Amino acid sequence: MRLWLLVSKRTHKPPALSRRSSSASSGLSPARDPALISGSSRELIRRLGSQVEVRAGFITEEEEGALLRELEPGLRKKRYEFDHWDDAIHGYRETERVRWGAVCEEVLNRVRSAAFPEGSPLLGPVHVLDLDKSGYIKPHIDSVKFCGTTIAGLSLLSDSIMRLVNENARNEWLDLLLPRRSLYILRDQARYNFTHEILKDEESVFGGQRIPRQRRISVICRNLPD
């Protein structure tokens, strides 16, 4: 059972891609990796500030290889799940992991110190989500009962696009380009008031540019609620 997911029940139709990519109000983040965040307005990007981060090249190819070597044997034993139409995630298999080899543990410690407030108690097991090339994640907000203020994820094997949409003002949105081997961090409002989703391959366009979605594995760390 996916305790950390709370699917947003409202059906949400994102704005047409063509309109969005040519929108004059489309803004780029002035801070961090500006080329990786676009949104409905500059004001929104400014307002969310450090609550949304994408760090390109957070791990090396070697570190990605170490993570994959550790994860693949277990994942390969599972089958991708496609048929639960009401599930938040389509075309996935997943696992959780507590113990890691030295290289991976070092990577995860880097994620933890980049993402979480010092001393914040973390969810013990790290969540590993393997999306098939045809898989995608529908808009949802992670369970507030089981997860705290911050969600941090590494992307392996593929670039992808994460879309955030304000639950209470659906015209407010951000698209994050998550390059392979990047780290993203969602905090506070961006985590509680915005749904997040990973676009399917057919919809994977960023700033007018097509971003092919291959099989993608994410390694996600969360903290505990207060």
Instruction: Choose between 27 and 161: whose C-beta lies nearer to ligand OGA.
Output: 161
The contact set with Mn ion (CB under 5 A) reads 142
Alpha carbons 88 and 167: distance in angstroms, whole number? 16
String of contacts with ligand OGA for each residue 109-138, x by CB under 6 A = --------------------x-------x-
153 touches, from Mn ion, ligand OGA, none (C-beta below 5 to 8 Å by class): ligand OGA
Residue that the structure tokens 């990577």 belong to: 107
Q: Does 142 bind ligand OGA (CB under 6 A)?
A: yes
> Least distance in Å: CB of 140 to ligand OGA?
7
> Least distance in Å: CB of 154 to ligand OGA?
8
> Least distance in Å: CB of 2 to ligand OGA?
7
218 touches, from Mn ion, ligand OGA, none (C-beta below 5 to 8 Å by class): ligand OGA
> Least distance in Å: CB of 140 to Mn ion?
6
Alpha carbons 138 and 217: distance in angstroms, whole number? 16
> Least distance in Å: CB of 87 to Mn ion?
13
> Least distance in Å: CB of 129 to ligand OGA?
4
Task: Report the phi/psi class of residue 104: left, alpha or beta, with left for phi > 0 and alpha for psi in -120 to 50.
Answer: alpha
7 touches, from ligand OGA, Mn ion, none (C-beta below 5 to 8 Å by class): none
Instruction: Choose between 27 and 201: whose C-beta lies nearer to ligand OGA.
Output: 201
159 touches, from ligand OGA, Mn ion, none (C-beta below 5 to 8 Å by class): none
Query: Which residue from 164, 161, 154 is spatially nearest to 130, judged by alpha carbons?
Result: 154
Q: Does 218 bind ligand OGA (CB under 6 A)?
A: yes
Neighbours of 126 (CB within 10 A): 21
Ramachandran angles phi, psi of 212, nearest 5° = -60, 135
198 touches, from Mn ion, ligand OGA, none (C-beta below 5 to 8 Å by class): ligand OGA
Q: Contact positions toward ligand OGA, by CB under 6 A?
A: 4-5, 129, 137, 142, 153, 196, 198, 218, 220
